[in-house]
Amino acid sequence: QVQLVESGGGLVQPGGSLRLSCRAIGFRLDAFTAGWFRQVPGKEREVVACLSTDGEGRRTYADSVKGRFTISRDRVQDTVDLQMDRLNVDDTAIYYCAADSFTTVCNEIDYWGQGIQVTVSS
């Protein structure tokens, strides 16, 4: 079963921007810590950004995207979004949305999206 669905991927030029969005099927995403991961062929899936659900929400980012990516939660639409700015070729990957039921650091994933392609190229 597909529990999470990503949207907003595509092809962009270096320096451009893209916004990814994640929604849940069959449950409220705002009850979960949520994050975005990415993976390229031959490498392990890595966490890009994570957002907890408690209080204001704790945001963490991979060093490679700090200052360029912003994760946020829309509690009205119940989505978790990833704004990606100043994209570069190294950001090319399949991006996955993920939900974590108990931790605040996206390290015990309960549900995954199917993945969406982000390609940064001239």
* pLDDT tens-place string over residues 22-50: 999 999 999 999 999 999 999 999 999 99
Mean per-residue pLDDT over the chain, rounded: 94
Range among 24-28, 85-89, 105-109 with highest mean pLDDT value: 85-89
Higher-scoring residue by pLDDT: 103, 121: 121
The answer, yes or no, to whether residue 102 has pLDDT greater than 90, is no
pLDDT of residue 53: 87
Spell out the long-range contacts of 41-44 with Cβ–Cβ below 8 A and sequence spacing 24 or more: none
The answer, yes or no, to whether residue 55 has pLDDT greater than 80, is no
Give residues with Cβ within 8 angstroms of 39, minimum separation 6: 45, 46, 93, 94, 96, 115
Position 98 confidence tier, pLDDT thresholds 50, 70, 90: very high
The answer, yes or no, to whether residue 101 has pLDDT greater than 70, is yes
